[in-house]
A = this chain, B = another copy of it.
Amino acid sequence: MGTVGKAISLLELFSVAEPELGLSDLSRRSGFDKATTRRLLVALTGHGFVEQDAGTRHYRLGAGLSRLARIREARFPFLQTAVPLVRELATATAETVHLSEFGIDRLVTVHVEHPSWANRVNVDIGQLLPLHSTASGIAYMAFARDETVKACLAGPLDAFTAHTLVEPAAISRSMDEARERGYSICDQGLEEGVISVAAAILTADGFALGTIAVAAPKARTAAADIAQRGLAVMAAAREISMRLNGDNLQILRRQA
């Protein structure tokens, strides 16, 4: 791995659950020497990608990241556009709704709305979702470029639960169904007791750039609920796609 890769993988050790980490911790988890880790942190700090707490001397993600993320957002107002509709969908369904964007080979959770239930599906911002074992992933692949789908089906397909689909053919079928239906369904593919529906959000070229999904405990989900949530998530995804692409319906033919 090159040096920049190492630096970035240091950044990726931070999460919502652990937003601040010490030098030794970072060194241990990354597997890099303490001296190396520190040198990388200093470089990152110098450009505002990392900040160091003056008191605890622990490190956290820096404002430079927010800056670049905002520049990206300005060009590509995915969050701004989508968040209101995520909120709407969350109130309408009273279940967890999460929004993801594709990155490299997985989906990145960029926004979440949780219901007030104590028993709910919890999703963290920044959480990474595999393509083959989540409703979001299936919905995404149903409208992704062939190469992306091929890469996913070729790669290792982990079975997270007894229900996870690991046969390329089965996954492919699941994608076809999602395309016809307008939304994907994933029954406990990533975790026992969780059932999700998702729909793809499309760019102007008709390919998916992300997804919106509703995730709920299976215990309080009847067949009718799935259909209802599916239609709602589909409508939300379409609305977001249209707002992003200037109501250019013609381009959305693939989804219809």
Contacts of A145 in B (CB 8 A): 54
Given the interface contacts A47-B9, A49-B8, does A15 sit within 8 Å of B101 by beta carbon? no
In this assembly, does A75 line the interface, its C-beta being within 8 Å of a C-beta of chain B?
A: yes
Given the interface contacts A101-B63, A103-B62, does A126 sit within 8 Å of B44 by beta carbon? no
When C-beta atoms are compared, the residue in chain B nearest to A15 turns out to be B71
In this assembly, does A3 line the interface, its C-beta being within 8 Å of a C-beta of chain B?
A: yes
Contacts of A75 in B (CB 8 A): 16, 19-20, 60-61
In this assembly, does A23 line the interface, its C-beta being within 8 Å of a C-beta of chain B?
A: no
Complex Cα distance, B68 from A11, in Å, reads 8
Contacts of A40 in B (CB 8 A): 4
Contacts of A7 in B (CB 8 A): 4, 7
In this assembly, does A143 line the interface, its C-beta being within 8 Å of a C-beta of chain B?
A: no
Per-position binary interface string of chain A over residues 8-45, scored 1 when its CB falls under 8 Å from any chain B CB and 0 otherwise = 11011011100110000000000000000001100110
Please determine whether A71 and B4 come into contact, CB atoms closer than 8 angstroms.
no
In this assembly, does A194 line the interface, its C-beta being within 8 Å of a C-beta of chain B?
A: no
Please determine whether B126 and A67 come into contact, CB atoms closer than 8 angstroms.
yes
6 cross-chain pairs, A with B, having the tightest CB-CB distances, nearest first: A69-B69, A19-B75, A48-B103, A63-B103, A61-B72, A4-B7
- CB pairs A–B below 8 angstroms (15 shown): A5-B43, A9-B47, A14-B71, A19-B75, A46-B104, A48-B104, A60-B75, A65-B65, A66-B79, A66-B101, A67-B126, A70-B125, A70-B126, A71-B125, A71-B126
